[in-house]
Chains A and B, each alone.
Chain A
Amino acid sequence: MDFISILSIFVMACFVGYYVVWSVTPALHTPLMAVTNAISSVIIVGALIAAAADGSTTAKWLGLIAVALASVNIFGGFAVTARMLAMYKKKER
């Protein structure tokens, strides 16, 4: 992909993000932060590439540490979001 196509995706995604986030109800702003935390750990993709590759031992180990850190966030972020969301209940009628 050339730089311009990537930039286009990025700019469009910023707009999507803008509208989607404004539609989030304020009561769920803490779960929003927790889940954005979890999904920003998609950086694990880069960590996996570094950890999987031959060539540089240092880079491989940096990658492995990054995989571990991102995993803390992925599992922790989704789990804590799920835990919070399960607490939001409507009035029993």
Chain B
Amino acid sequence: MEHVAPPAWVMLAYLISGVFFISALRGLSSPATSQRGNRFGMAGMLIAVVTTLVTHEVASLPEILGAIAIGGGIGWVTARKIAMTDMPQLVAAFHSLVGMAAVLVAAAAFLNPVAFGIVDADGLINPVSRVEMGLGIAIGAITFSGSVIAFLKLAGKMSGAPILLPLRHVINLTTLAAILGLIGYFTVDQSPWIFWTVTALAFLIGFLLIIPIGGADMPVVVSMLNSYSGWAAAAMGFTLHNTAMIITGALVGSSGAILSYIMCKAMNRSFISVIAGGFGAEAAATGGPAKEQRPWKRGSAEDAAYMMQQAESVIIVPGYGMAVAQAQHILREMADVLKKQGVSVKYAIHPVAGRMPGHMNVLLAEAQVPYDEVFELEDINSEFAQTDVAFIIGANDVVNPAAKTDKTSPIYGMPVFDVDKAKTVFFIKRSMGGVGYAGVDNDVFYMDQTMMLLADAKKMCEDIVKALQH
């Protein structure tokens, strides 16, 4: 049985669905058009689902509607209840579901190829379709197991520290080569064992790839898995000759790839070195040169309140520590009080602040910080030199001047905020003991104009707000 081309209107419907998905992403170019974009996305999905249901003989409509209701209900409730700080792990969990769905669809296509119209005259699966299915199930399985590990690390259910197996590069490359080799062999031999071995190896390599990657590299991992989930959908789109799936897969695949690239660039690290993993672990293991005790100044909430009231301009630099302490709401209150007293307040966001791209922006939006007060690195960095106060809350490596000056530093070359140029720096940190993710000391702690505010970020902001209102 050859692949029968569906009627023209069906192809057109899937094409429209694909175009709607493009519009959904296009809407995100500005917050003003983004909600309309999201509705385009929903419409595109509805078109794709309805078209599929009306063009196939559906033998089991009640079961299908039941599955949609159960899954949809779970998804909807989760989306309503989830705290914004938990967004990175939610996204990782969602990626794992796309991966698993791709695995299941590819498996179903292998078990019932006639339903998918991919068999040739002899009743065998077309060789091209076999490659597409093999790639689909492999990418899907990698997406699934990788996302599960990323989810566990992000949710704190597993240590965020890199786990380094001996010979891991050899194991990974061998596994990858085995997967590709077996998919190649699958075109001449359609035996089930090949298909299932590919699946098992792909689950394994997804797991192996993510366990050596540490917590702060998660923005790259989450973006990369995002990309994989897209390529998995595209591979299945090739199998099904479905335009909507191919367009979407390509969009999502490039989206994740671009985000990974932006994240890597913001850390001045190559994609390969992030994927090879183990960053931070090695620096911590060698311990670095013995640290001399250097003098630093401790400030109080009252000091911070006083200095900021006197200031003309304050730039707030939030980092992952703000998310952990859930300090975004009280931080915005602090900014409101200052603004009422005539102080200009801006927020400066580093591309890799937090655990996923745009993490800080969402948290600030949740705390009702207007998005036109929030600036990206390159837009605001020149302003630190004219700023009275830089207020650092839960960030560390992204303000470390060693990235500009110290060629031996593991973060050398990473673009950082020039907070050292501000007249006064307040640095909220829980204690002087801990260092940033990269495990390097930060000269900002010891500058003359720096005052360390050693406390939980939320508690410190509350105290500052109290002091400001006196």
> Does B248 sit within 8 A of A, measured CB to CB?
yes
Asked if residues B111 and A37 are in contact (CB atoms below 8 Å), the reply is no
> Does B371 sit within 8 A of A, measured CB to CB?
yes
Asked if residues B115 and A55 are in contact (CB atoms below 8 Å), the reply is yes
A23 to B97, CA, bound (A): 27
* Chain A residues numbered 32-87 whose CB sits less than 8 Å from any CB in chain B: 32-56, 58-60, 62-87
Asked if residues A72 and B91 are in contact (CB atoms below 8 Å), the reply is no
> Does B170 sit within 8 A of A, measured CB to CB?
no
Asked if residues B25 and A21 are in contact (CB atoms below 8 Å), the reply is yes
Cβ contacts B186-202/A at 8 Å (1 or 0 each): 00000000000000000
Chain A residue numbers with a CB within 8 Å of B243 are 9
Asked if residues A6 and B238 are in contact (CB atoms below 8 Å), the reply is yes
> Does B321 sit within 8 A of A, measured CB to CB?
no
> Does B287 sit within 8 A of A, measured CB to CB?
no
A interface bracket (residues with beta carbon within 8 Å of B)? 35 or more
Asked if residues B236 and A43 are in contact (CB atoms below 8 Å), the reply is yes
Could you say which of A14, A48, A54, A72 contacts B253, with CB atoms under 8 Å apart?
A14
- A70 with B34: in contact, given A50-B108, A89-B370 (CB under 8 Å)? no
Chain A residue numbers with a CB within 8 Å of B153 are none
Asked if residues B67 and A35 are in contact (CB atoms below 8 Å), the reply is no
Chain A residue numbers with a CB within 8 Å of B104 are 47, 50, 62-63, 65-66, 69
> Does B245 sit within 8 A of A, measured CB to CB?
yes
> Does B157 sit within 8 A of A, measured CB to CB?
no
Could you say which of A18, A25, A65 contacts B258, with CB atoms under 8 Å apart?
A18
- A35 with B244: in contact, given A24-B28, A27-B361, A40-B252 (CB under 8 Å)? no
A–B complex contacts, Cβ < 8 Å, 11 sampled: A9-B243, A13-B247, A32-B358, A33-B91, A47-B105, A49-B56, A55-B114, A59-B111, A59-B115, A63-B108, A71-B72
Chain A residues in the interface with B (C-beta under 8 A): 1, 3, 6, 9-10, 13-14, 16-18, 20-56, 58-60, 62-92
